[in-house]
A and B are shown apart, each in its own frame.
Chain A
């Protein structure tokens, strides 16, 4: 089955710096890669996702890149702000597996003012 590794587990940056979180997946059939953000005490919420037919996707200060050959994808946050502090989860799924969405273990991002 699919296995998703996420690094780093914790990340601390200064406000205004960029943050990068990386994930690798094992199943070459995986073709949908969402990222969820979970603020302290809250539920996870989707922030961006990418399909395997796209190499990069941007939404304001966040972007996701996908390297299918290397089976890894990354979340990039530019101009970080204190409200970006949260736990971020990557996930992978493939259409053939139907309901199986596998999450990474999460990255706790702290943005220091």
Chain B
């Protein structure tokens, strides 16, 4: 089954404790992206990757890191989480962005205390 898998789905952590949200897709997609969703703000792009070893900042990259060492994986790293990073995070992938359907993961709800 074609899918984008994120883990963990839910996480409560404390300020400053490094965490990684994993994202994996099994569709051989070149493009992958991370979004955060906050009430009233819609979906805001954090980072994206056009292919292996190619990553670029989206609109809200501060406080996040990513890597793309393999085509299928695109982890999101919060080196020192802060409460303003409490959000719902979505990973998405696409064969090609323009034009291309984005396939979203189920989302990861992160709470930083």
* Interface of A toward B, CB cutoff 8 Å: 1, 6, 9, 32, 34, 36, 43-46, 49, 51, 89, 93-95, 98-106
Interface contact A43-B99, CB-CB below 8 Å: no
Min Cβ gap A54→B in Å is: 11
Question: Is B70 an interface residue, CB under 8 A from the partner?
Answer: no
Residue tally, chain B, CB below 8 Å to A: 25
Per the bound structure, the CA–CA distance linking A100 and B44 in Å amounts to 10
In the bound complex, CA of A29 to CA of B40 (Å): 26
CB neighbours (8 Å) of A34 from chain B are 99, 101-102
CB closest chain-B residue, reference A6: B42
A44 touches B98 (CB 8 A): no
A-B contacts, 10 of them at CB < 8 A, read A44-B90, A44-B102, A46-B101, A46-B102, A49-B99, A99-B48, A99-B97, A100-B58, A101-B97, A103-B45
Partner pick for B90 among A6, A43, A93, A104, CB 8 A cutoff: A43
Beta-carbon contacts under 8 Å, B45-75 to A: 45, 48-50, 56, 58-59
Q: Are A99 and B41 in contact (CB under 8 A)?
A: no
Contacts of B58 on A, CB cut-off 8 Å? 99-100
A89 CA / B42 CA spacing, docked (Å):
8
Chain B positions within 8 Å of A49 at CB level: 99, 101
Decide if A106 touches B48 in the complex (CB within 8 Å).
no
For residue B81, CB closer than 8 A to chain A, the reply is no
Chain A residues with CB below 8 A from B45, complex form: 100-103
Closest to B101 in A: A46
Enumerate chain B residues within 8 angstroms of A32, measured Cβ to Cβ. Answer: 98-99
A4 to B48, CA, bound (A): 19
Given contacts A43-B107, A89-B43, A101-B33, 17 further A-B contacts (CB under 8 A): A34-B102, A43-B105, A44-B90, A44-B104, A46-B101, A46-B102, A93-B97, A93-B99, A95-B98, A98-B50, A98-B98, A99-B31, A99-B49, A101-B45, A102-B59, A103-B35, A106-B43
Complex CA–CA separation, A43 to B105 (angstroms)? 7
Q: Which residue of A lies closest to B49 (CB)?
A: A99
